């Protein structure tokens, strides 16, 4: 039994060294090196190349090295009997929360406007919003969404969420039926949904039009949630006051994309939150040990739900 690490960002050998430091008795391979394919039972992946998992006839578990698993579920080489796990990392959730809170205050206090104004040496004052002026709606109340919602609530924001099931500590709207009410009462919308067949393209014209005029959108989940042209049209028409986007349909964002330089759309290069090795390594080793003993895995994803 052995582990293979498959990543396209050139960091597989770095991860191999980190894992080996913590456990000398496990065979770990970087997918770029020569290795016996039939011994591999666990693959650690992050945006792996298409077709790369086909090589492993005895694969039992594919472990995402991040919180999302959409890229694994989209891989037709991963059969239904292969377990899929992901990273659950309190530091990742905290980083995400801090990032989104920064986006919220930047919007409330007009910081992007002043950034542009400074370049033109202009001195115009804008009216700013306060916490009491907005209701924050969080789409997805999982590991990341619920941490953010609780942090915002503790700061004194009015917060509500949308999920598949009710949460005790946060006012929750559930499913399609309660969605219109949720959207109609949300002035800052944050997407922290997993990318599934139900949530792909969910942030479209019909959906976003249900937000009140002047609402602001923050997408920090996946580019596949957003129909970019619909958002652009709604910002340009004035229905939405703007957006802060960390994820895109195509990354890096193509040079000629209309989001670049748009005065009401802030762009960051998919950096809202990054899993830390100190969280990933113990979870991977724990799951590898469970796999060898035939025990239930931690942080296993429900393939039928898609998250
Ligand atoms: P979780 O799987 O823990 O939570 C998902 C939440 O979404 C749950 O509350 C779930 O409801 C809800 N949900 C799922 N499908 C639906 C649906 N169809 N309708 C309503 N609610 C739904 O995910 P995480 O919080 O860990 O992560 C969310 C996403 O954030 C990840 O999938 C990833 O794509 C993205 N991400 C982005 C990063 C970045 O840097 N930009 C970094 C890390 C993650 P219920 O609770 O009822 O099951």
CB 103 within 8 A of CB 85: no
Distance 122 CA to ligand 1 centre (A): 41
Digit-coded pLDDT (tens) for 47-92: 999 999 999 999 999 999 999 999 999 999 999 999 999 999 999 9
Instruction: Count the helix, strand and coil residues of the chain and give each as a percent rounded to the nearest 5.
Output: 35, 20, 45
Give the chain's end-to-end CA distance (angstroms, integer).
27
Question: What b/e readout covers 104-119, taking b as 16+ CB neighbours within 10 angstroms?
Answer: bebbbebebbeeeeee
Closest CA to 281 of 1, 112, 44: 44
The DSSP bridge pattern shows strands 83-85 and 61-64 to be: parallel
Dihedral (CA of 279, 285, 291, 295) sign = negative
CA of 163 to the centre of ligand 1 (A): 9
Question: Is residue 193 within 6 Å of ligand 1 at its C-beta?
Answer: yes
Q: Structural domain boundaries of the chain?
A: 2-89+275-293, 90-267
DSSP state of 45: E
Architecture of the 2-89+275-293 domain: 3-Layer(aba) Sandwich (3.40)
What residue owns the CA closest to ligand 1's atom 5?
A: 142
Note the pLDDT tens digit of each residue in 3-36: 999 999 999 999 999 999 999 899 999 999 999 9
Q: Which CATH class is domain 90-267?
A: alpha beta
- The pLDDT value recorded for residue 281 is 94
């Amino acid at each position: 039994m052995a582990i293979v690490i498959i990543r396209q960002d050139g960091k597989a050998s770095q991860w191999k060294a980190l894992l080996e430091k913590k456990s000398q008795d496990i065979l770990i391979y970087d997918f770029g090196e020569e290795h016996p394919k039939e011994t591999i039972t666990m693959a650690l992946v992050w945006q792996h190349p298409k077709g790369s998992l086909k090589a492993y006839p005895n694969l039992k578990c594919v472990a995402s090295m991040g919180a999302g698993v959409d890229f694994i579920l989209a891989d037709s080489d991963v059969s239904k009997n292969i377990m899929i796990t992901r990273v659950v990392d309190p530091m990742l959730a905290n980083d995400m929360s801090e990032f989104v809170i920064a986006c919220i205050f930047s919007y409330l206090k007009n910081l992007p406007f002043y950034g542009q104004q400074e370049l033109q040496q202009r001195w115009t004052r804008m009216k700013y919003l306060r916490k009491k002026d907005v209701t924050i709606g969080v789409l997805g109340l999982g590991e990341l969404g619920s941490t953010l919602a609780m942090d915002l609530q503790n700061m004194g924001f009015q917060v509500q969420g949308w999920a598949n099931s009710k949460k005790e500590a946060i006012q929750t709207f559930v499913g399609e039926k309660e969605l219109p009410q949720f959207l109609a009462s949300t002035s800052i919308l944050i997407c922290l949904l997993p990318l599934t067949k139900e949530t792909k393209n969910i942030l479209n014209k019909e959906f976003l039009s249900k937000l009140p005029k002047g609402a602001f959108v923050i997408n920090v989940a996946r580019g596949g949630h957003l129909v970019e042209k619909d958002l652009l049209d709604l910002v340009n028409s004035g229905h939405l006051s703007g957006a802060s986007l960390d994820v895109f349909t195509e990354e890096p964002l193509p040079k000629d994309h209309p989001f670049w330089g748009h005065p009401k759309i802030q762009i960051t290069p998919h950096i809202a939150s990054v899993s830390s090795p100190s969280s990933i390594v113990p979870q991977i080793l724990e799951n590898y040990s469970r796999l060898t003993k035939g025990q239930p895995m931690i942080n296993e994803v429900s393939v039928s739900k898609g998250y």
